[in-house]
Amino acid sequence: MRRIVAAFFVVFGTIFYILLFKSLYLIPELPKDEPVLIFENKVFEGEPFIIEDGNILVSYNILKENLDPYLFWDPEEKNVTITTFDKTVRLKTDSLTAIVNTKPVEISFPVKVLKQPYLPIKLLEDLYNIDIRMIDKNRVIIDRKLPERKMARPIGREVFIKLYASWFSPNVAKVGAQESLALFDYDRGWYQVRTGDGIIGFVSEKNLEVFEMENKEKAPDRNVPAPVRGKLNMVWDYIHSAAFNIRREKAPKGLDIISPTWFSIIDGKGTIESKADISYIQWAHNNDLAVWALIDNNFDPETTHEFLNSSEARENIIRQILMYAELFHLDGINIDFENINLDDKRLLVQFMRELAPVMHEAGITVSQDITVKSQSSNWSLCYDRAELGKTVDYLILMAYDEHWAASPKSGSVASIGWVEQGIKTLLEDVPPQKVILGLPFYTREWEERPGPEGTSVVKSKTLSMAQAQQTLAKNKARMSWDETCGQNFAYYTKGDAVYKIWLEDEKSIELKASLVKKYNLAGAAAWRKGFEVPAVWDVIFDVLKAPVRM
């Protein structure tokens, strides 16, 4: 029994001695002869950076994982694309010319590719608002320039920095009184700290005075346009040809923005076809209307796949858009990409991230059209709404085509419950001040005929508001209010066919427009100009612009 007790004390004493010894003496935390990158409170070894001709190049993989998840490497075309709030930067491998917002800029050192790309560190400092310090040839520290950073200093005497949050932990550094330490995590009475030369460890909160250091540099603000009064009021204008003449028309009451359908991307190289007209711009500006020209993808998924998957094609498109925007004095652009392969979802976000900074630098508002959420791959799931909402100034919810032209079942183009649910689900991902509600100025006439085995054969025809009224009058249709859909419903028969119309009119538009204020959205946009009856503009004005009556 005595031997067991003695053995216990020997073992216990040995462990205690080892722990005490380790807690009194320093052990090296970082290798001295190998490259080490310290990013905030993370340590990276191996090959986190390389040095060539005195230039430091940092690992692409580390930067993407820890600094910018949107950093984009195109292995086919061998270039890196960086997108920030106000810059789109393309860096070609082994090229001393960078493309910054479509303009060439000379740089001191190019991107290098070993097992992965390495980016020149000096280029990153301003782009990412980071602070980079080289301690010696084998140690680099990177910190974000935060508005405020928590710091600490020892209270009145030297303290040891522990490897772990424990008194029995080995020491990794000793710091003197008043030496500033960067502060990170807190663990049960211990602060994680970092010394000026990059040593990371833990100090008891009892031994530290905590304070905040203010960074006077502030991130730039992005001001998006707002109407003089009320909510934004926009309409799309479908342009048949470049010869279209609008100069004699009067601008609708309360309209802020007009979006002519001028531009289409017609091939995989990103060639843009234009129907733009400077006299249209002059008319709009003379009527105090902002012009947000629409750019579509021809609704062709294969062409879209081709240009989204090429960095050069995306850059070609952005250059053309900027050229047209400056040539025609555009106030904004409206990206209407539809029918997109689900596999291209990530690349659609990448394109918008590359496009937006270039437009913002030129003072151009960026809006993008998206559909109501559904399970359709090409028409809904292809949009990463949360990421797109972070990138563009406005997302326009095309809250129509609940029952589309080729629908096997007749029904409303935009019933009030379906529209409201579409708003709610979008607001799960996007803040309301970035959402514009799309309204339909059209409806569909549905023809139902008996089919085989008791089924119905359904066909539809698109009608403007005026055409719908004419059809009802001509056929002496019966009409009643459909409370569930929030629309007037009409029907009539001819032979063995039944014709149904869920009308879009002043009353239905008023209900849908009212959702803009209910959910505090940015405004409304209507498809399309020329399909409305004039009285609709008064209704929209009263909902979006008129002051609230007390």
User: What H or E segment, with its residue span, contains residue 124?
Assistant: helix 121-128
Same domain, 138 and 62: yes
Q: How many residues does the chain have?
A: 550
Q: Is residue 96 part of a domain?
A: yes
Same domain, 132 and 152: no
Of 176, 197, 212, which marks where a domain is finished?
Answer: 212
Give the Cα separation of 456 and 440 in Å (integer): 26
Residue 183's domain is classified under what CATH number? 2.30.30.40
Q: State which residues form the domain around 137.
A: 36-144
Q: Is residue 444 part of a domain?
A: no
Same domain, 49 and 60: yes
pLDDT at residue 330 in the model: 97
Same domain, 172 and 185: yes
What pTM does this model have? 0.90
Give the Cα separation of 489 and 485 in Å (integer): 9
Q: Is residue 443 part of a domain?
A: no
Q: Is residue 122 part of a domain?
A: yes
User: What H or E segment, with its residue span, contains residue 481?
Assistant: strand 478-482
Q: Is residue 164 part of a domain?
A: yes
Q: Which DSSP string do the residues of 134-163 spell out, in sequence order? A: EEETTEEEEEE--SEEEEEEESSS-EEEES
Q: At what angle do helices 535-544 and 506-518 cross, to 10 degrees?
A: 20
Give the Cα separation of 235 and 251 in Å (integer): 11
How far does Cα 138 stand from its chain's mean position?
Answer: 37
Beta strands in 227-289 (DSSP E): 232-237, 257-260, 263-265, 272-274
Of 212, 230, 260, which marks where a domain is finished?
Answer: 212
Of 163, 190, 212, which marks where a domain is finished?
Answer: 212
Same domain, 124 and 46: yes
Same domain, 104 and 167: no
pLDDT at residue 17 in the model: 41
Tell me which DSSP letter residue 379 carries.
I
SS (H, E, C) 159-190: EEEECCCCCCCCEEEEECCCCCEEEEEEECCE
Same domain, 123 and 42: yes
Three-state DSSP at 326 gives: helix
Mean pLDDT in runs of 10 for the chain (550 residues)?
51 46 59 91 95 92 96 96 94 94 93 95 89 90 93 91 94 91 95 95 95 71 66 96 77 96 98 95 96 98 98 97 97 98 98 97 97 98 98 98 97 98 98 98 97 92 98 97 98 97 98 98 98 98 79
Same domain, 66 and 101: yes
Q: Going by C-beta distance under 8 Å and a sequence separation of 6 or more, which residues neighbour residue 188?
A: 165
Overall number of domains in the chain:
2
Handedness of CA 376, 381, 382, 386 (dihedral sign): positive
Tell me which DSSP letter residue 205 carries.
G
Q: Is residue 54 part of a domain?
A: yes
Give the Cα separation of 30 and 39 in Å (integer): 14
Strands 55-59, 435-440: pairing is unpaired
How far CA 376 is from CA of 288, 339, 379, 383, in Å, comes to: 39, 10, 5, 11
pLDDT at residue 21 in the model: 43
Q: Is residue 76 part of a domain?
A: yes
Same domain, 79 and 138: yes
SS (H, E, C) 296-310: ECCCCHHHHHHHHCC
Same domain, 140 and 151: no
Three-state DSSP at 100 gives: strand
Q: Is residue 431 part of a domain?
A: no
pLDDT at residue 3 in the model: 56
CB-CB neighbours of 171 under 10 Å: 18
Same domain, 42 and 127: yes
SS3 content of the chain, % helix, strand, coil (to 5): 30, 35, 35
Residue 129's domain is classified under what CATH number? 3.30.457.10
pLDDT at residue 220 in the model: 54
Same domain, 44 and 132: yes
pLDDT at residue 244 in the model: 67
